[in-house]
Structure 1
Amino acid sequence: MKLRTGNSNKMIASILQLENEQSVSDYSASIIKSFENDILPFYFGLHVLNRDDLIQNHTTEITKKLFDVRDNLFLICDGTYARHQKSTNNEYQRKSFSGQKKVPLCKPFTIYPNGLSKFLTEGDTFVLDRGFRDIKDALEKKKFTVLMPALKGKRKQLSTKESNQSRFVTKIRWAVESVHGVLKQKYRLLDHKIGNKLIPKVGIYFRIASFLNNTFGKRLQSDVEIVQRMHNQKDAENTLAIEAEEKGWFRRKLIFKNITGNDLLDFPEMTEKDMKIFFTGSYQLSQAVSYLAKMVDKNGKLNIEYVKDEKNVLKLKVPSRHIFRTTYRCFLRYTPNSIGVSGVTHYACECANGRRTIGCCSHIAAIIYYLFFARYLSKIFKPAEILSDTFKKDNSIPVIESDSDDD
């Protein structure tokens, strides 16, 4: 109950009608000890598995299909974080403070130095995010394959090949991100601010939660159609982006106008399933909903401009999600009055991932979502719209003082 709800010992004692909160602490310690001695050593961890079992039964189906997994082991590595209280121990406070999150936290990341090596052979694959870029060379020297999203550096855009390869990586890395989310949703203690007295137990709490999720949790699945589309588009070049560069579309001054629900009625029809296949998953669809809502002003006017000066090619200007004054030019080529995913034949954007042909960037996704579905709604609703008016009721303006002494 402590792990599942994250409630204080006092609250749990009240719910269970125990004499005092110390009883909750004693019961919790007893259960943790039982897990440590009687369950986890026999049913959780690498020591209870073998290499073939890991490959056949613990490799996600989408990884097997995307990378044709046979005899090589795929390891998806990532850490999560657990926020906790500030400490009066100044040394620990300095070490635990995250400059990125601006809060004290610890990052559970379990490594088995004496157990993992016996499973690995040359050619096995590590799937990492960009935070592991400093160890990539070391792993490759040991003749392991490293899959990591491409680094843009000082360039404006990734190439089509880099963007597509990155999408393959993020598609299988999604599994570990999803599991972290599930753990924190099911076991609220891991998502709450943890009391300092529980910090030494964070590791065992995560191990127990992981064991329960492995044993009783739902396996992650992905549609076969998505995998097939990703394979089909893997080596496709973004010919529309090349055409836009050759013809100077990014530089040409055009007379744009705001798009309305009565424009472009010949745009292809798609079902929700079609959009998920086109976007190679549901995440981009959910992002499109939020992004589109952000582009609607207080009068309900959509801040997307377009011009159609060439046959079946849309040229659009879409505002950035993050930078107020930045807009991106997007291009869409489609087959008029068609039905299904194949109706949108080519697309390109000048953002960092705008040249990809597997899935698309958020700007293209928002445009497609609007033309297919949102324009037929009476109103485009903002997610958690009540939060937009939080600081408007009394005309107050939130101020963040970067030089505050309150740390």
Structure 2
Amino acid sequence: MTDFVPHNLGFQHISREDVIQKHTRELARNLLTSGFTTDPAILVLDGSYVYIQKSSNVTFARRSYSLYKHRPLLKPMMVVTTTGYIVSILGPYLSHSKNNDASILKHMIHCNTEELKTWLKEDDIFVVDRRFRDAGEILKDIGIRMEMPSFMPKGAKQLSTHDSNISRVVTKVRWVVEAANGRLKQWKYLEKTLPNTQIPFIGDYVRIVDALCNKYRPPLCNASDHDQSLAAKMLYLSKNVNSLLRRVDEEGLDRRSMLWVKVDADGVAPDFPRYDETDIRELTLGVYQLRMA
């Protein structure tokens, strides 16, 4: 914690310019800064979880119990770049209902943790999930853009085409913090429920592990020759009209009763398109859906 971690983790160990030039994926830059004249730092934030035993101290037991996970835990807040490089990990924080991700981010800004406000510049971008929604105003006050998946309007059954496309763009960038959290849990000790005697040392443990990952593990995603073309295609498709939705609405296909029959690939649907792997990658604009299939 004295000689190794400070040189490999924390906002003071790396400059904002190094993050922009060496640890920002071209895909993320093109998707999120299209039309901007500045070159901002793009950071992805998310809370991780370290499970602990139930405490005999009633006050601490209540404040460490997560209603989301239905068990006691502590929450380190992870800040990574779009290549998966871990800039810093803050906390751990308690996990009761008043200490959600948005509250933790507000605390980081108010307390200027690790001189965060000095490191950041106006028009920098935080990519987050919906649990950070209440922190939007405080980020706006210091000039930080918050990119977040869209919310479904009250009474709506699904997102609009525009909101769905915005959410896909954000998710295409934000997945890297989930992978970084997964890399943290590859260390068996942090994956298990820790005894309460170890609670004072959890912050040190996660920082040591993340510093080791920064120093010796490869980036979670490397720059690709296709990043620029992929970003251009996603932005182009996100502005297109949803012709399938228009046809469903105009012909009332969502209100018709249908008789479904089992399809036999050998004869029932001879005109059904046959795609090779390259075609599917072009269709899905990534590998996640392909791996799931």
- TM-score band (shorter)? 0.7 to 0.9
Displacement of 1:250 in angstroms is 0.5
* CA distance in structure 2 between the partners assigned to 1:41 and 1:143 by the alignment: 28
Matched, 1:78 2:46: yes
In the other structure, the counterpart of 2:93 is: none
In the other structure, the counterpart of 1:395 is: none
Residue among 244, 248, 268 paired with 1:240? 244
Deviations for 1:182-211, whole angstroms, at most 9, x for unmatched residues? 1212x1111111111112111111111111
* CA distance in structure 2 between the partners assigned to 1:153 and 1:189 by the alignment: 42
Matched, 1:264 2:238: no
Larger mean CA deviation between 209-218 and 53-62 belongs to 53-62
TM-score by length of 2: 0.79
In the other structure, the counterpart of 2:57 is: 89
Q: Secondary structure at the match of 2:21?
A: helix
Q: AA paired with 1:265?
A: P
Structure 2 contact 10–114 (Cα < 8 Å) conserved: no
Matched, 1:275 2:285: no
* CA distance in structure 1 between the partners assigned to 2:69 and 2:45 by the alignment: 20
Displacement of 1:107 in angstroms is 0.7
Displacement of 1:231 in angstroms is 3.0
Point out where structure 1 has 5 or more consecutive residues left out of the alignment. Answer: 1-35, 290-407
Residue among 94, 97, 101 paired with 2:69? 101
Determine which structure has greater relative contact order: mean sequence separation of CA pairs < 8 Å that are 6+ residues apart, divided by chain length. 2
Structure 2 contact 127–146 (Cα < 8 Å) conserved: yes
Q: AA paired with 2:50?
A: A
* CA distance in structure 2 between the partners assigned to 1:189 and 1:227 by the alignment: 38
Q: Secondary structure at the match of 1:190?
A: helix
* CA distance in structure 2 between the partners assigned to 1:143 and 1:108 by the alignment: 25
Q: RMSD of the alignment, in Å?
A: 2.0
Q: Secondary structure at the match of 2:126?
A: strand
Distance 1:237 1:96, change over 3 A: same
Structure 1 contact 51–119 (Cα < 8 Å) conserved: yes
Q: How does 1:67-146 map to 2 (within 5 A)?
A: 67-68=32-33, 71-109=39-77, 110=90, 111=108, 113-146=113-146
In the other structure, the counterpart of 2:199 is: 199
Structure 1 contact 63–172 (Cα < 8 Å) conserved: yes
Q: AA paired with 1:46?
A: F
In the other structure, the counterpart of 2:18 is: 53
Displacement of 1:64 in angstroms is 2.3
* CA distance in structure 2 between the partners assigned to 1:61 and 1:208 by the alignment: 29
Distance 1:256 1:222, change over 3 A: farther
* CA distance in structure 2 between the partners assigned to 1:74 and 1:49 by the alignment: 14
Q: Secondary structure at the match of 1:37?
A: coil
* CA distance in structure 1 between the partners assigned to 2:279 and 2:209 by the alignment: 35
In the other structure, the counterpart of 1:184 is: 185
In the other structure, the counterpart of 1:310 is: none
Deviations for 1:252-303, whole angstroms, at most 9, x for unmatched residues? 223322233333232222223432332222222344x3xxxxxxxxxxxxxx
Structure 1 contact 61–221 (Cα < 8 Å) conserved: no
In the other structure, the counterpart of 1:157 is: 158
Deviations for 1:351-379, whole angstroms, at most 9, x for unmatched residues? xxxxxxxxxxxxxxxxxxxxxxxxxxxxx
Q: AA paired with 2:250?
A: E
Once the two structures are aligned, what percentage of the paired residues are identical? 35
* CA distance in structure 2 between the partners assigned to 1:279 and 1:37 by the alignment: 46
Q: Secondary structure at the match of 2:146?
A: strand
Displacement of 1:238 in angstroms is 0.6
Distance 1:41 1:255, change over 3 A: closer
In the other structure, the counterpart of 1:38 is: 3
How many residue pairs match? The answer is: 252
Displacement of 1:78 in angstroms is 0.7
| Bigger radius of gyration | 1
In the other structure, the counterpart of 1:175 is: 176
